Structures are given as structure tokens and as C-alpha cells.
Amino acid sequence: MIIARLALQSLRNRAATALLTVLAIAVSVMLLLGVEKVRLGARQSFADTISGTDLVVGARSGAIQLLLYSVFRIGNATNNVTWKSYQDIASRPEVDWIVPLSLGDSHQGFRVLGTTPDYFKHYKYRHGQPLRFAAGGPFDDLFDVVLGSDVAAKLGYEIGSRIVVAHGTGRVSFVEHEDKPFRVSGILAKTGTPVDGTLHVSLEAIEAIHIDWQNGMPVAGQTVSAADVRKMTLTPRAITAAMVGLKSKLSTFKLQRQISEYSAEPLSAIMPGVALQELWGLVGTAETALSVVSAMVVATALLGMVTTILTTLNERRREMAILRSVGARPATILGLLATEAVFLTLAGVVFGALLLYTSLIFLKPTIDRLYGLQLSIEAPTAGEFLTLAAVVLAGLLSGLIPAFRAYRLSVADGMTVRT
Amino acid sequence: MTRVETLASATEAPGIIKMSGVRYTWPGPRGFCLAVDDFAMMPGERLLLVGPSGSGKSTLLCLLTGIVRPEKGVLDVLGADIAKLSNAARDRFRAEHIGIIFQMFNLLPYGSVIDNVVLPLSFAAARKSRAAKSSSAEDEARRLLASLGLAASDYEGAPASSLSVGQQQRVAAARALIGRPEIIVADEPTSALDRDRQQAFLDLLFSEVEAAGTTLIMVSHDEGLGTRFDRVLRLDTIARANRNGGAT
């Protein structure tokens, strides 16, 4: 009891350095846990992007590529799906619903998606949440557009704003569909998914703005006015991909195989969940790198602690000689120093966790708004507790360095401090 | 006849410390070596050991208190050959039976005076129960401090480092005396004090040691203190020291 009390008093005597040590460990632990939180948050919002869709169908390609261009709107499709094939798949008995996706145009760097009003009914994210309109409603007129929340917020559009869509998906575009402007009919609520950065128009609209184009350029002298185009039949010739919902999950594999073996054109059908897993496997390396870096920071903080204890060791040789003279064994002195290291690490871990949760509570809305990252504020998971325990263990192990030195010194010093 | 017999049995039996053929070398390249051929002390004896610095006083005390173990020889303390005890057992032995007073810096500066005094008791169960026999160990500490001339108002509520050097030495004496260990070892306890304080400190120490019947061994370079002791011994008459580990 007295030994413990004296050890605490000794630590209090060195309060300034002890506090700095605890702070360094706390910040490193906060980083370690924070990186873990961001990692899980990123993975979660990744996995939350699409839900309730059983298959995504597109031209034959790799699963990840199809997922990236259809759901994440990253990259471009290698090929299209003909309208006939789309209708063919749509008419299969297993299919409950099907939503076409037509990509290829953009507006100020945001992708334009041609689809049907069913999209707003069937696209689900984060455990089956449907899309909600923050203002207005789905497209009704041929030249109506529904904006994702980021598009509206960043470009300052409101219901009724007029928009010109550019051909191609580059951020800077030289060819615009300026003869056929769109009117904003609805703005979607924030989802934290790529939907936020998408402009939604009807499939017919996509067809309409390209009707007088050939090979990616307007054909000179053949312009069709916006008024004229309304009178034409606007059945799309092809789409980029389609999201499919099935009546029964059991038929997923069967339909997937049938689509893959579709004879009229080479198609692929992927299960979004499986492709997400595959994609995450690729990103995993970066994740590991992040974790390694934060682990290094913790190691640095612990090294700092070892250094601090080591530098105070010389001043404390007197203290150890006194303890030895009253009968303390060198092992007791070793234990005392190791306990001190564990105590400092433990304090750092607790303080760091508190620091993280406090900043999470304050920063969560901002992070969500700026990065669309949903960070969960939950009690540490078993894995996180294990990480923290590992930090404390590392603290103990590194504390053994000064402890063994003290042990050797106290054996050599005996009762008098030898220099 | 009877007289001779008594003398003979006196040298034979209750010697509280007996050293013969003891030799120790400190580890390291400049290993200091000390050899003690024959040295003994009677129970209750008060011995002053005199020698200049570097003559091996500290090494002798380290041997007597079991901090280091002799390489060879017999080192009998209180009837136990502590040269044969393990490191841990010697540490326990020291905690139970020996009180130590250093020259200076005796106290853990941040600790309270009472904590400093009762510190040895956490390593020594028998001493602890002796100290706490009439009341608590803390009360015994206060009693000892009072009889050494320290009032509670001198030390309550302040760390040990706030005391003067003379007061700190008296606290150190109280720590050595608490729980009545059989032997007190003092390593130049008065050299940091001025002449008057030296005398006052020794007066207090001696009265406590006498009251408890404790054996006292004190080392000093100051032969002038000798008059108060039962015996004064020059260290070089019992021990040979060698700087390079070459003592024979």
C-alpha cells in the first residue's frame, strides 16, 4: 500500500513530464482508434451504397468494373446493352422489377444518369432505405432533371433552375447539348452515396439530346429542335446497365447464369454484395497501410515514454537505493517501474479514447456533410478493446526497458549510488 | 576458573555479527575488492568503525546488510550465515533485522514523513507487528519522532523534503529504529550536520538504541566521536582493500 502510494507520489512529483507522456500516448491512441473508425465508416458507406438490388446487368466485363461504372459512377462502360436484350431480361418470369441506367453525359463534372421513375422507387441504400425528395418530385416532363443533394448544394441550383448537359464525362467539356436545356424538377435528400453527385433524367431525354448526333458530335445541318423532338418516338437504342430485383432470391444464381450465357450479345450479371467484397479486397492494402502508420505513431509515443522514464532514472537512483536499504528487492524496483509504464499507458489509452469520442460527437455532422462518411459513435467493439489491450501490453513491454536498467543499476549500486 | 569459562563462552556464543575469511569484489572493470579475515560484534555493542574514504567502509556495510553476497567466507549475522542465503532471502533478512541510516538523502523527498518512517515495515512482517503492538505503526512512528525531538507540527501535511537536513536525519533514525530491528547500521549519519547538531543527534540516537538494547555499528572518518562508543576500530586493522580486485 505504502509502496503504491509512494510510487504515485513519485509520479506526481514529475507531473509535468508524466502528463506530457500521457498526452502523447493519448493522441496516438486517438489516431489509432480514429483511423479504425474512419476505415469502418468508409467500408460501411461503401457497402451501404446499394441495397435491395439482386443483380446488376451490363455489357460483359469484370464484376468490379461493372459495379464501379454502374453504381459508383466511376469510369466508363466498355459497351452497352441493347434495348432488346434489356426488354428480354425484363420479361423473364423471375424478374420483379428492373431499372435501366444510361450513362455517358455530365454536367460540370457531375454524372448524368438516364433512367425511369422506377429508379426512385427501387434504388435502396443503407439497409434498404429508399431515396427521399428534399424538394420537388421525380421527372415528369421530357426535359426535367432530378438532382442529387451535392449537385444542388455545390452548384446552387433550386427547383426550376435551367441546366445544360454536356456530352462526355470530363470535368471540362467542349461539346454541350445547349439547344436542349433541362429544368430542375426535384432535389433528392442527402444519402452519402454516389446518388448525391448524380443528375437524373429520363431515358427518353438521353435519347432526345442525342437524336441529332452521330459519333459523339452534332451532325451539321441536321439539328432537331427541342420542340420537334417531343413529337418523335424516343425509344432508346441501348442502355449502359440495369438494376434487377428478383421475386425470389433463390433464383439469383439461375438468372445470373442465364444472363451470362445470353446468346444475342455478351452480358454480365453481378451480385452487388459479392462485387463490393471483391472491390474491398483490393482497397484492403491501403487500409492495412493506414493501420500500420497509426500503429507506428503509437510505437513512437511509447518510445517517448521509455525515453522519459530512462532520463528520470538517474535522478531516481537515490530513491531506489533507499528502497533497497529498507529491504526492497531489485525485483520490486523492476515491478515499480514497469507498473509506472503500464499506468502511464493506461492513462493515455483511456484519455485517448475519451478524446476520440468527444471529437467524434462534435465533428460527426461536419464529417458527414463534407465527406458523406457516416461515422458510428458506438461503444468500442471487442476488436477495439483488443487493440487497446495490445497498446497497454506494448506499454508494459517497453516499460521493461527502463525497468531492467533500474534493476541492473540497483543491483550494482547497492545502498550507495555509484557513478 | 569460572571467570575464564564465562569469558570463553562469551567469545564463543552470542556474537551477533561474525565475519571470517570474507572477500568481495564489486563487478566491473575497476572492481574494488575488500577482504575481512576476522571481525565480530557482541549483542548490544556500540561500535565506531573509522577509516578514510576509499577504505572500504561502504563495501563492508553492504556485506553486513546483505546487499551483496561475499564470494567466500562465513558471514554470520544473528546466527544465520547470510552468505548462504539467496538474494531475496537476504533482502527479507535486512528488512526484518537491520535498520540503516545514510549520510544524507535518506528520505523519499515527495513522500510524507510518516510514510518514510513506516516504509521498512511493508517489507518486514515481524517488525511491523512489533511496531504496531501497542497501537498502529503510524502512532509508533509519531512516538519515535517525538522522542527524537520532532513534533507533529514539524512534519504534518508537508513532504519530507521540506524538513531541514538535521530533521531529515532524525526521521531517518526513526525509520531505522521502528519495529526494533536487532542491528542499526549508520553510514556517517552526522557528517552533514554541524558540531552541535551532531552531538544532539547522537544523544537522541544513543538513548533510543540503549532503550531498545540494539546493536549499533557506525562508520565515520571522524575519530573524535569515539568517546561515546563501546569500541572504536580502525577499518584497516580488520580489512584489506584493493582498487584493482587484487586483495589477497
Provide ipTM, 2 decimals: 0.83
Question: What pLDDT shows up at residue A335?
Answer: 86
Contact A326 B95 (CB under 8 A): yes
Closest CA of chain A from B190, distance in Å:
16
Q: Per residue in A29-38, pLDDT tens?
A: 999 988 888 8
Q: Mean pLDDT over residues B149-159, rounded? A: 85
The answer to whether A173 and A165 are in contact (CB under 8 A) is: no
User: Which of A12, A414, A418 has the CB atom closest to B110's CB atom?
Assistant: A12
The answer to whether A246 and A97 are in contact (CB under 8 A) is: no
What CA–CA distances, in Å, run from A34 to A47, A228, A282, A306?
19, 57, 22, 24
Contact B175 A326 (CB under 8 A): yes
CA angle B86, B89, B90 (to 5 degrees): 85
**CB–CB contacts below 8 A, A to B:** 81
Residues from chain A that touch B94, judged by Cβ atoms under 8 A, are 325, 327
Residues from chain B that touch A333, judged by Cβ atoms under 8 A, are none
Residues from chain B that touch A5, judged by Cβ atoms under 8 A, are 111, 115
Alpha helices in A234-316 (DSSP H): 252-260, 272-313
| Beta-sheet strands, E only, within A37-132 | 55-59, 81-82, 95-107, 110-115, 124-125, 129-130
User: Which has the closest alpha carbon to B245: B90, B23, B3, B38?
Assistant: B23
Average per-residue pLDDT for chain B = 83
Residues from chain A that touch B70, judged by Cβ atoms under 8 A, are none
The answer to whether A141 and A181 are in contact (CB under 8 A) is: no
User: Which of B62, B91, B102 has the CB atom closest to A327's CB atom?
Assistant: B91
- C-alpha cell of residue A328: 526492497
Nearest CA in chain A to B185: A325
- C-alpha cell of residue A318: 537515490
- C-alpha cell of residue A313: 532514472
- C-alpha cell of residue B33: 575488492
Question: What pLDDT shows up at residue B247?
Answer: 42
Q: Could you give the CA distance from residue B179 to residue B184 in angstroms, rounded to a whole number?
A: 12
Q: Mean pLDDT over residues B80-95, rounded? A: 88
Nearest CA in chain A to B114: A2
Question: What pLDDT shows up at residue A416?
Answer: 63
Other CB atoms closer than 10 Å to residue B52's CB: what's the count? 10
Q: Which residues of chain A have pLDDT under 70?
A: 1-2, 168-175, 212-223, 372, 413-419
User: Which of B28, B92, B108 has the CB atom closest to A327's CB atom?
Assistant: B92
Contact A13 B109 (CB under 8 A): yes
Best of B26, B34, B102 to disrupt the A interface by mutation (most A CBs within 10 Å)? B102
Q: Does B75 touch chain A (CB under 8 A)?
A: no
Best of A5, A316, A326 to disrupt the B interface by mutation (most B CBs within 10 Å)? A326
Q: Mean pLDDT over residues B226-242, rounded? A: 86
Contact B108 A319 (CB under 8 A): yes
The answer to whether B233 and B50 are in contact (CB under 8 A) is: yes
Q: Per residue in A399-415, pLDDT tens?
A: 999 888 888 887 776 66
Between these two residues, B171 and B29, which has the higher pLDDT value? B171
Candidate ranges A405-409, B13-17, B62-66; pick with highest mean pLDDT? B62-66
| Residues B135-168 as b or e (16 or more Cβ within 10 Å = b) | eebeebbbebbeebebeeebbeeebbeebeebbb
Residues from chain A that touch B107, judged by Cβ atoms under 8 A, are 322
Contact A415 B122 (CB under 8 A): no
Other CB atoms closer than 10 Å to residue B12's CB: what's the count? 8
Contact A415 B67 (CB under 8 A): yes
Rg for chain A, CA atoms, rounded = 31
Best of B97, B114, B119, B191 to disrupt the A interface by mutation (most A CBs within 10 Å)? B119
> On the CB side of A9, how many CA atoms lie within 13 Å of its CA?
19
Q: Does B96 touch chain A (CB under 8 A)?
A: yes
Average per-residue pLDDT for chain A = 86
Nearest CA in chain A to B175: A326
Closest CA of chain B from A18, distance in Å:
15
Question: What pLDDT shows up at residue A380?
Answer: 80
User: Which of A13, A328, A331 has the CB atom closest to B123's CB atom?
Assistant: A328
Q: Are strands B46-50 and B215-220 parallel, antiparallel or unpaired?
A: parallel
The pTM of the full predicted model, rounded to 2 decimals, is 0.73
The answer to whether B54 and B241 are in contact (CB under 8 A) is: yes
| Residue for grid cell 528520470 | A312
| Cβ-based neighbours of A241, under 8 Å, separated by 6 or more | A56, A57, A58, A59, A66, A69, A70, A77, A81, A100, A101, A103
User: Which of A10, A327, A414 has the CB atom closest to B68's CB atom?
Assistant: A414
Closest CA of chain A from B248, distance in Å:
23
Contact B65 A415 (CB under 8 A): yes
Contact B102 A415 (CB under 8 A): yes
Q: Could you give the CA distance from residue A252 to residue A269 in angstroms, rounded to a whole number?
A: 10
Alpha helices in A167-264 (DSSP H): 203-209, 226-229, 252-260
Residues from chain A that touch B122, judged by Cβ atoms under 8 A, are 1-3
Four-point Cα dihedral A72, A75, A78, A84, nearest 10: 40
Best of A9, A312, A322, A419 to disrupt the B interface by mutation (most B CBs within 10 Å)? A322
Give the single-character DSSP code of A405.
H
User: Which of B26, B119, B159 has the CB atom closest to A2's CB atom?
Assistant: B119
Residues from chain B that touch A9, judged by Cβ atoms under 8 A, are 108, 110-111, 159
Q: Could you give the CA distance from residue B159 to residue A5 in angstroms, rounded to a whole number?
A: 13
Q: Could you give the CA distance from residue A31 to residue A301 in angstroms, rounded to a whole number?
A: 11
Q: Does B91 touch chain A (CB under 8 A)?
A: yes
Closest CA of chain B from A348, distance in Å:
24
User: Which of A3, A318, A329 has the CB atom closest to B88's CB atom?
Assistant: A329
Convert chain B into a string of H (helix), E (strand) and C (coil). CHHHHHHHHHHHCCCCEEEEEEEEECCCCCCCEEEEEEEEECCCCEEEEECCCCCCHHHHHHHHCCCCCCCEEEEEECCEEHHHCCHHHHHHHHHHHEEEECCCCCCCCCCEHHHHHHHHHHHCHHHHHHHCCCCCHHHHHHHHHHHCCCCHHHHCCCEHHHCCHHHHHHHHHHHHHCCCCCEEEEECCCCCCCHHHHHHHHHHHHHHHHHHCCEEEEEECCHHHHHHCCEEEEHHHHEEEECCCCCC
* Mutual angle of helices A15-47 and A2-13, in 10-degree steps: 90
Chain B, window 42-61: residues with a beta carbon less than 8 angstroms from a chain A beta carbon: 58, 61
Contact B110 A10 (CB under 8 A): yes
